Amino acid sequence: MRYTLFFLIGMSFLACKPDKKDEPKPDTDLITGTYAPEDYPLNLPKWMPPLPASPGNSLTKAGVALGRMLFYDPILSRDSTQACATCHQQAKAFTDGLATSPGIRGQNGTRSAMPLVNLAYNTRGFFWDGRSVALEDQALLPIEDHLEMDDTWENVERKLRRHKDYPQQFRQAFGISRKTELTRDLVVKAISQFERTLISAYSRYDRVVWAKEDFPTDEEQRGLELFFIEYAGNQAHPGCSHCHFNPLFTDNNYHNNGLDNVPNLNAFKDLGRGKITGFMTDNGRFRTPSLRNVALSAPYMHDGRFKNLEEVLENYSRGGHGVANEDANIMAFPLTQQDKSDLIAFLKMLTDTSFVNNPAFSNPFKR
């Protein structure tokens, strides 16, 4: 009788316990925490123009910090061996020092990694051919390019959603409340925010010409005068500032700068801008890179064909090849050894050591 009573009491106790199946499960998709965005301050010197607006993606402290982490994190590549920063290294003005860069498969692309400088000012398209209208569009493409990071966006989204830190950081930057809201659109917004902060405006040239803090050497002054000559039909040297003008030292436009001798406009090995627009007259045209920090970004041209600045100057002094759409300022002109030395001294004035050593632009994973 005693055992029967204990059995009945035990059964009654078990019957009162709630079934675990009926207990609410934790919401593993939910992201908690505060969302209080703060504007990211960009203190530009007076000689730089105001930044164009970036509708729908204003700079915030949390967004820029997140973008910096993503820029340096190899998690965005298929095998987690390459990051954006692999081909865009701060010490080399955010290039990699190679003519063309290998992706994670070990295969090289066909074009040189462009320097990342003052991208916020570019409103004429990104990549050498301008295929992406905005920075956000540009950041989408390397992830799935088989010659670059070779992943899929679906897989990248999964990796970031499962990460121990990133969901909370995306909430702080963009106010999302669920991991499923962490999408590629927000990834590229964050990367673009960081890239828009990569402003170079404090080179020796800026300190001499704009801030009046120093004086040019005789060599630098002669190079400056050669560089800024405006061709008037009676000068031997056409000048360089038609495409590389103050203060950005680029027009961010597309030019055939006389590199290739082809029989017709359809014979270029790389059609450049023409492949994007479909206009034959754009074949062989490529975006003008900024000359800021140019002494750090060798090799040069869209395919990295010139190893140093001396080769670049030699090429321009020879003039073009008479191809129909060559820029009107491409013409042969004499350059003495002194002229070349002077021009290179001037170009080195455009090196911004504060830019390539700025801790705000460096790898956040290295302390």
CA proximity to 295, closest of 231, 179, 205? 205
Question: Which H or E element spans position 167?
Answer: helix 166-174
**16 among annotated binding-site residues:** no
Q: Cα 261 vs. chain centroid, distance in angstroms?
A: 30
Tell me the one-letter amino acid at 217. Answer: T
CA proximity to 336, closest of 223, 257, 260, 258? 223
Alpha carbon distance 346, 227 (integer Å): 8
DSSP class of residue 211 equals: S
- Residue 30 pairs with which residues in a beta bridge? 178
Alpha carbon distance 268, 258 (integer Å): 11
Backbone torsions φ then ψ of 96, nearest 5 degrees: -125, 5
Half-sphere exposure (CA, 13 Å, Cβ side) for 28?
5
Burial of 280 (0-12, 13-18, 19+ CB in 10 A): middle
Reduced to 3 states (helix: H, G, I; strand: E, B; else coil), residue 237 is coil
Binding-site entries for heme c = 84, 87-88, 240, 243-244
Binding-site entries = 84, 87-88, 240, 243-244
